[in-house]
Every structure is written in structure tokens, then in C-alpha cells.
């Protein structure tokens, strides 16, 4: 196992909520780290047309999620393919436990 990673903002999940958080926190210069989980892109990757996304009369769900990831990365978010198995919120800094990468600690 490698050294513990530190990040100011850890985002667990890569659905619309995760990528929205990534875009906002990256724009706020917080250098977020986003862990995708077992379903990169979230639930919209398993549907076809999304018709209620503002600005698009219809867009394919998987395409929309590729665009959201690209947007988050373009703003400076780091996206990693991993899964959080445990999260210790009892002491600061919080410690999430991914399956592959070294443990991540939120910076004070």
C-alpha cells in the first residue's frame, strides 16, 4: 500500500450530483478528488434519452455523463476509478478507505 493521499475535498460518486460538486469545488480552487464508484456516470448511464436537461431538448444519458465528467476535469477536478469501502468520520481529518488507491485523508 502506498502513502496516504490528502485532499481538501473528496467527492464520492460520479452521478450528476458528484460531477456538479466537482465543477463547483474545482472552480473554487479546492482541487477536488472524485471517486467514481462501481457505476461511473451514475444512473443516467443506463437510460437512453433524457428530455428534461435544460438546454437540450433531448440528450442521451450516457453522452450527458461523459460531458459532465469532461466538464469536471476541464475545471481541474481529478477523477479516479475506485470504490470507497469504509469512511471514518469520527476523527478529523476524515479517512475514507478505497479499494485500490492508498487511503485518502481530508486536509484540515
Which residues here bind ligand FAD, judged by CB under 6 A? 12-18, 35-39, 42-44, 46-47, 50, 52, 83-84
Cβ proximity to ligand FAD, 17 vs 28, nearer residue:
17
Cβ 71 to ligand FAD shortest distance, Å: 14
Residue entry with cell 465528467: 69
Cβ 25 to ligand FAD shortest distance, Å: 15
Q: Count of CB atoms within 10 A of residue 71's CB?
A: 15
Cα separation values, 74 from 8, 64, 85, Å: 18, 15, 28
Amino acid at each position: 500500500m502506498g502513502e496516504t493521499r490528502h485532499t481538501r475535498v473528496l467527492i464520492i460518486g460520479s452521478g450528476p450530483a458528484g460531477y456538479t460538486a466537482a465543477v463547483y469545488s474545482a472552480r473554487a480552487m479546492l482541487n477536488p478528488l472524485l471517486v467514481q464508484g462501481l457505476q461511473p456516470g451514475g444512473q443516467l448511464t443506463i437510460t437512453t434519452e433524457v428530455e428534461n436537461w435544460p438546454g437540450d431538448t433531448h440528450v442521451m444519458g450516457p453522452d450527458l455523463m461523459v460531458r459532465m465528467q469532461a466538464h469536471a476535469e476541464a475545471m481541474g477536478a481529478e477523477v479516479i476509478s475506485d470504490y470507497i469501502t469504509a469512511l471514518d468520520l469520527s476523527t478529523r481529518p476524515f479517512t475514507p478507505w478505497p479499494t485500490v488507491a492508498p487511503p485518502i485523508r481530508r486536509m484540515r
